[in-house]
Structure 1
Amino acid sequence: MRLSLICAALATGLLATACQPVREQAPAAVPVATAPAPSVPADDNLNAVLWVQRSAEYRAAAAQTFRAATDHLDAALKQADWDALVPEERSNPARGLKPAVILDIDETVLDNSPYQARLVRDGAEYSDPTWDAWVEERKAKALPGVVEFARAAHARGITLVYISNRAVHLKQATLDNLRSEGLPVADDGVFLGLGTVVADCEQDGSEKDCRRQLAGRQYRVLMQFGDQLGDFARVYDNTPAGRQALLDRYEDWFGERWWMLPNPTYGSWEPALFDNDWRQPRDARRATKRAALEVAQ
């Protein structure tokens, strides 16, 4: 009985199997060649610009700088001889003069990272025509914390003086941009751009010492703000050693009279590494910078 049932079952199973439709085995997958991703040249400024635009750390650093400076305003005002100009740039006594604060503009008050981002995108480098076009757009935004500081200074009767290496022909666009961002502008005379003529002082390139002297003739300077050493005092020797010597001399002024904003995207520290010779090809400048790296052994 069991044998016949088993046989019948087997027969039925074989018949059912025989009646199943035949399925062809799928052919093995053939690798499909993909087009290579477009090659994008490396850009030294990519991470720096991204850090300024996208990191919370950058915003925190800027905001805490201006907040700390605000806390020092009253103490600076009360000290009649308090002065943030180096002695060689002070030609007249500061005591009794109206109080002022000197601010650089680019990367100190206004954020130009969208212009830097364009250069990264286009594989380009700074040029006067592209820079002038950007300034004329009047689209730069205020750095975190600067408007609050500026308004606190203005409320205390302190004049804000803007000493910038934006050329004088960009004055109106710059003042428009400052005002649109809520920065106090007492009058057009508080903008001292590159090309400002200062009597009895010979300007050397883009150094700001003559313009600081001009401000010092009218004001007691309580504080200075910048993103480069040259925003605070003249850099006579733009080499790593010369810049360090200037920092060593006035190190105690930072955080009291001088306030430095972070700017990894550009600055005079960079050409100091390749003998200030911008005529060198980009690859040669990059090679010199790479050679200057301190590599852990």
Structure 2
Amino acid sequence: MRKVLALAAAASLAGCATMPAPSRSARPAVVPGAMQFLYGSAEAAALSEQAYNALVDNVRLRVAGPRPSESAIVLPGDGAPVAASCGDKPFAAVFDMDETAILNLGYEYNDAVSGAAFDAGRWARWESGGADKVAAVPGATAAFAALRTMGVTPIINTNRNVAAAKETADALARAGLGSFVHGETLFLKGDADGKSAKDGRRRAIAARWCVLALGGDQIGDFTDALEGTPAARRVAVSSPPYAARWGRSWFILPNPVYGTGLGSGWDDTFPAEKRWTDMQGAK
């Protein structure tokens, strides 16, 4: 009986040894173009450096000159948006986190190879477990250090979840951006008013700080007022009272990978009167 069992076990092991490994989807041969640009190109790095250099230079001028009376934070009013008052509040600069201060390299790699649609559960797992798979956006580390040297406190206003507050602060620290404290220099989704829109948090920040600059990769990192179709939003950013803020107190960084910058249709993107057809090349 023992010999029979031994032979049976050997046969079972032999069968296991010859079984093929479970198949896995092959990694795409080419990195998605938008990810190549944002995470792999010199051009995107240069744009980020440019934005941070301009932000630091403008803040330096504001710190050195007469004390600012108006914040970079603009809040909804009865009519036109109104800049918050600075008074004698300490200086700060407010930044979005994802693809503004840090690059989510680990998450976006997983996104690229899986091809999966956005999933809130997967993002939550990334927030709680991906702190060592991020990198600072080019220019951010030097800019945050320069701001602190000037007496200007960097503040993060992000839509990451409160449940991952500790891990979020850890990711920022690991990226070399310094220490951030939830409720003081780190504001998360739902803080202040329970919403994912950021005006409520900006209002709370403006009540305590004189904000000299805002940095982000989405229009919602600056104001919640610019809603509507992609075409309407594109017109609005070049209209008063917003046009004069870009490159002076509002600084936007590139993000062709996700967010509100995507989603325009053919008519929004290519006006009918500007379309061209190569009649000679057309078959």
The alignment's TM-score, normalised by the length of structure 1, stands at 0.73
Deviation at 1:162, TM superposition (A): 0.6
Q: Secondary structure at the match of 1:224?
A: strand
Q: Structure 1: state its 5+ residue gaps.
A: 1-37, 274-288
Residue 54 of structure 1, aligned match among 29, 37, 40: 40
2:256 — aligned with what? 264
Q: Distance in 2 between matches of 1:55 and 1:121?
A: 19
Instruction: Flag the 1:186–1:156 CA change in 2: closer, same or farther, 3 A.
Output: farther
CA distance in 2, matches of 1:92, 1:117: 40
Aligned ranges for residues 74-89 of structure 1 at < 5 Å? 74-77=60-63, 78=65, 79-88=67-76
CA distance in 2, matches of 1:92, 1:47: 40
109-118 or 208-217, which deviates more: 109-118
Deviation at 1:41, TM superposition (A): 8.5
SS across alignment from 2:85: coil
Give the match's secondary structure for 2:172: helix
Q: Which residue of structure 2 lines up, in the alignment, with residue 121 of structure 1?
A: 113
The C-alpha deviation readout for 1:185-232, integer Å capped at 9, x for no partner, is 35332111112133xxx73xx210000000000001100000011100
Q: Which residue of 240, 244, 248 corresponds with 1:252?
A: 244
Contact preservation (8 Å) 1:160, 1:185: no
Which residue matches 1:152?
A: 146
CA contact (8 A) 2:231 2:268 kept: no
Q: Is the 1:91–1:216 Cα contact (8 Å) retained in structure 2?
A: no
- Bigger CA radius of gyration: 1
In the TM superposition, residue 159 of structure 1 has moved relative to its aligned partner by 1.3
| Mean CA deviation greater in 241-250 or 57-66 | 241-250
| Partners of 2:150 and 2:137 in 1: CA distance | 21
Q: Aligned equivalents of 1:108 and 1:165: distance in 2?
A: 12
Contact kept? 2:70, 2:84, Cα under 8 Å: no
* Ranges in structure 2 where 5+ consecutive residues have no aligned partner: 1-24, 278-283
Q: Secondary structure at the match of 1:84?
A: strand
Given the superposition, is the C-alpha separation of residues 92 and 83 from structure 1 closer, same or farther in structure 2, using an over 3 Å criterion? closer
**Residue of structure 2 in register with 1:296 after alignment:** 276
Determine whether 1:161 maps to 2:151.
no
Residue 123 (structure 2) pairs with residue 137 (structure 1) = no
Q: 1:222 aligns with which of 212, 216, 219?
A: 212
TM-superposition CA deviations, 1:127-148 (whole Å, max 9, x none)? 1111122222202110111010
Amino acid at match of 1:181: A
Q: Distance in 2 between matches of 1:224 and 1:92?
A: 13
Q: CA RMSD in A?
A: 2.6
Q: Deviations over 1:145-175 (max 9, x none)?
A: 1010001111111111110011111211110
SS of residue in 2 equivalent to 1:124: coil
Mapping for residues 187-266 of structure 1, pairs under 5 Å: 187-188=181-182, 189-198=184-193, 203=195, 206-248=196-238, 249=240, 250-266=242-258
For the pair 1:67 / 2:62, whether they are aligned, the reply is: no
Distance apart, 1:254 and its partner CA: 0.8
**What is the CA–CA distance in structure 1 between the aligned matches of 2:231 and 2:126, rounded to whole Å?**
34
Deviation string 1:30-87 (CA, Å, 9 cap, x unpaired) is: xxxxxxxx998899x8100111222111111111211122111221223421420114
- Counterpart CA distance in 2 for 1:238 and 1:40 is 37
Matched residue pairs, number? 238
Structure 1 residue 244: Cα displacement:
2.3
Residue 91 of structure 1: CA displacement?
8.6
**Structure 1 counterpart of 2:199, one-letter code:** D
